[in-house]
A and B are shown apart, each in its own frame.
Chain A
Amino acid sequence: MTTMLRQADPAAQTVPGPGGTVPEAPSRLPRIAGAVAALAVLAVPLYSSPYWVQTFTATAIYAAVALGVSLLLGRVGMVSLCQFALLAVGAWIALRIGYGLDLPFLLVVLLAGLLTGLVGVLVGLPALRLSGLYLALITLMAAAGVTVVLAATQFPNGGDGVLGFSNTAAGTSQLARPSFATSDGAFYVLTLLIVGALFGLVVWQLRGKAGRAWAAIRQSEATAVAAGVSVVRYKLWAFALAAFITGAAGALLAASGGGVTTYQFPTENNILLLAACLMGGVYGLWGSVVAAVFVKVVPALLQVWGIPSDVLLIAFGVGVIQTVLVSPQGAAAQLGHDLSRLARRLSRGGAR
């Protein structure tokens, strides 16, 4: 017991906590290297084919969706299996507003986010009473409900009426892009900027009062309450924020190449999305980017290489198992660890 008496050693700061849920504070070098590499990668499609521009646009959009899943699961401890459905809701709302009112594009994105946020609060209501498997099931049912309704209503395509869809309408279900970003390349850059802003919004919330309240709720709701936190309010706020960024992403998706069709939103994709987020890692921000790469870039590569995409399902299954067993923090954190280990090794080698 004498070890408990010694003054706390500040160098022990990076010791991971019990259960491995406390992420190690990564050292600067891999972070900067990662950022530079990321920027380089982001620029690649601009110099290659339209196929890759569209794939990367979709990847950026899905990174925002994955961020919503990770926010709920990694930061607050709530499983939501309807985030992919909320993406469809966001796209629907954006199209409806886009065809119905003559508003600037950014305003449409904002409104789609806000209205989807409201839907997210409704979906979050059961979360106040249910958790774990029950919450997962309820949200999956909500997702299935969205799929069914969507199949009946279709995405607005410029038709008349409340639903804005007509079989004879000339328009497609694609949201008009702003005049300054009509080309795929420009729209890709715009998407990056908006998704970057959504990430910024989440980071800002995580670093503040909400982030502290969520951390408390995730560890112990009783503790959060005893600190004066309104658990109801902060759980709903998490759902609202996750739905907001997902809805805004939906607007971007509606404006991306070819627009949207109802076939793009099968219910099971909600589960695949969760699997991808778990593989990428739900405790950090990069994990969401990695998840989006799993969901968009990997299938695109498979298509280029002529490998059937069913392989992906199996790979996801194996990937989740490997994540759970080997690196519960997910691929992004694992990569961070590996990089910092590499950096340490290199710097040690250089010193010799």
Chain B
Amino acid sequence: MTEVRIEGLTVRYGGVVPLDGVDLTIDGGAWGLIGPNGAGKTTFFNVLSGFARPAEGRITVDGEDLLSMRPHARARWGLRRTFQTEQAIRELTVADNVRLGYEHGRRGGAGEAVAAALDFVGLADQPHRLVGSLDMRGRRLVELARAVVGSPRLVLLDEPAAGLPDQESEELGALIRAVPERLGATVLLVDHDMALVSACCEKLAVLDFGRLVATGPTAEVLQDPLVLAAYLGTTEEVA
């Protein structure tokens, strides 16, 4: 499974430092990236996917230098992401949304790949439906299918369950767990829903004010007093 090695990653926006010297090695499986609002989680995703340039630091994925790849080339390489504000393309059909995620940088095989991805998320029965007519759950699933179509290596999910009620969030959690298990991709999940994160992820990384304050197995990290203080501002247990 894809290994991501991050060294000394710092991002500056003027006076704001959303990421401050982050060292982290993500060694496959499903990882959760948690932290309070403004901790730098989305910025971290933006750096990985090429939408933000770090001031300092190195990132290697399976030994390759990620920062030298252009953003769309990273996607073609297999680094896929979803967005905090859901971004399924309204005027395309369900299948075309997924196909969009497959067809660039590849030749042939779109039909089977799209069918497999739709099957994976459970939308195989309505490929020709316009995405603009789907509810939030449907659009989130389309976005996930677009991220995992083909053979993804590293999938970044930014609050994929935001706006979904608990039961749907649980369903989505089962799918997220299946991404490393069935598709063999490394997953990095950002979400404020601790139930979802702890159900999906065997390891956690915790950001606070741009600094990495804890990493390790989920259960251990959630007991860490530093994490409790950072995340909730109290010493109550999180999960």
Residue contact A227 to B129, C-beta cutoff 8 Å:
no
The segment from B1-9, B162-170, B177-185, B209-217 found at the interface with A is: B162-170
Of B71, B129, B168, the contact of A8 (CB 8 Å cutoff): B129
The segment from A89-97, A211-219, A264-272, A308-316 found at the interface with B is: A211-219
Q: Which of B97-134 contact A (CB under 8 A)?
A: 99-101, 103-105, 126, 129-130, 132-134
Most chain A CB inside 10 Å of its own CB: which residue of B89, B99, B138 = B89
Min CB–CB distance B46 → chain A (angstroms) = 9
Of B96, B100, B132, B135, the contact of A22 (CB 8 Å cutoff): B132
Do A226 and B104 form a contact, CB below 8 Å, given A12-B133, A13-B130, A13-B133? no
Q: Does B76 make an interface contact (CB < 8 A)?
A: yes
Of B72, B133, B135, B167, the contact of A229 (CB 8 Å cutoff): B72
Of B75, B129, B130, the contact of A226 (CB 8 Å cutoff): B75
Residue contact A4 to B137, C-beta cutoff 8 Å:
yes
A107 to B146 alpha-carbon distance, docked (Å): 42
A113 to B168 alpha-carbon distance, docked (Å): 52
A227 to B79 alpha-carbon distance, docked (Å): 9
Do A17 and B91 form a contact, CB below 8 Å, given A4-B165, A213-B100? yes
Of A3, A17, A220, the contact of B87 (CB 8 Å cutoff): A220
Min CB–CB distance B85 → chain A (angstroms) = 9
Residue contact B92 to A17, C-beta cutoff 8 Å:
no
Residue contact B99 to A219, C-beta cutoff 8 Å:
no
CB-CB nearest in chain A for B128: A13
Q: Does B153 make an interface contact (CB < 8 A)?
A: no
Q: Which A residues touch B76, using CB under 8 A?
A: 228
Q: Which B residues touch A213, using CB under 8 A?
A: 100, 104
Q: Which of B49-89 contact A (CB under 8 A)?
A: 49-51, 71-72, 75-76, 80-81, 83, 87, 89
Q: Give per-residue flags for A253-281: 1 if the beta carbon is below 8 A from chain B beta carbons, else 0.
A: 00000000000000000000000000000
Q: Which B residues touch A339, using CB under 8 A?
A: none
Q: Does B136 make an interface contact (CB < 8 A)?
A: yes
Do A216 and B168 form a contact, CB below 8 Å, given A8-B138, A21-B90? no
Residue contact B51 to A22, C-beta cutoff 8 Å:
no
Most chain A CB inside 10 Å of its own CB: which residue of B75, B105, B138 = B75
Do A216 and B100 form a contact, CB below 8 Å, given A18-B90, A229-B72? yes
Q: Which of A24-46 contact B (CB under 8 A)?
A: 25
Residue contact B104 to A4, C-beta cutoff 8 Å:
no
Min CB–CB distance B153 → chain A (angstroms) = 13
Q: Which A residues touch B92, using CB under 8 A?
A: 212, 215-216
A137 to B135 alpha-carbon distance, docked (Å): 39
Q: Which A residues touch B133, using CB under 8 A?
A: 8, 12-15, 17, 22
Residue contact B135 to A8, C-beta cutoff 8 Å:
yes
Do A225 and B75 form a contact, CB below 8 Å, given A4-B136, A216-B89? yes
Q: Which B residues touch A5, using CB under 8 A?
A: 137, 165, 167-168
A12 to B100 alpha-carbon distance, docked (Å): 23
Most chain B CB inside 10 Å of its own CB: which residue of A1, A2, A18, A220 = A1
Residue contact B71 to A22, C-beta cutoff 8 Å:
no
Residue contact B89 to A1, C-beta cutoff 8 Å:
no
Q: Which of A88-113 contact B (CB under 8 A)?
A: none
Residue contact A13 to B136, C-beta cutoff 8 Å:
no
Residue contact B90 to A219, C-beta cutoff 8 Å:
yes
Do A228 and B72 form a contact, CB below 8 Å, given A4-B164, A17-B132, A212-B100? yes
Q: Which B residues touch A22, using CB under 8 A?
A: 90-91, 130, 132-133
CB-CB nearest in chain B for A222: B51
| Chain B residues with a Cβ under 8 A of chain A | 49-51, 71-72, 75-76, 80-81, 83, 87, 89-92, 96, 99-101, 103-105, 126, 129-130, 132-138, 146, 164-165, 167-168
28 A-B pairs whose Cβ atoms sit less than 8 Å apart in the complex: A1-B165, A2-B165, A3-B135, A4-B165, A4-B168, A5-B137, A13-B130, A14-B133, A15-B132, A15-B133, A17-B91, A21-B91, A23-B91, A209-B103, A215-B92, A219-B89, A220-B83, A220-B87, A223-B87, A223-B89, A225-B49, A226-B71, A226-B75, A226-B81, A227-B100, A227-B101, A229-B100, A230-B104
Q: Given A212-B92, A227-B104, output 6 extra A-B contacts at Cβ < 8 Å.
A: A4-B135, A4-B165, A5-B165, A13-B133, A219-B89, A226-B71
| Chain A residues with a Cβ under 8 A of chain B | 1-5, 8, 10, 12-18, 21-23, 25, 209, 212-213, 215-216, 219-220, 222-223, 225-231
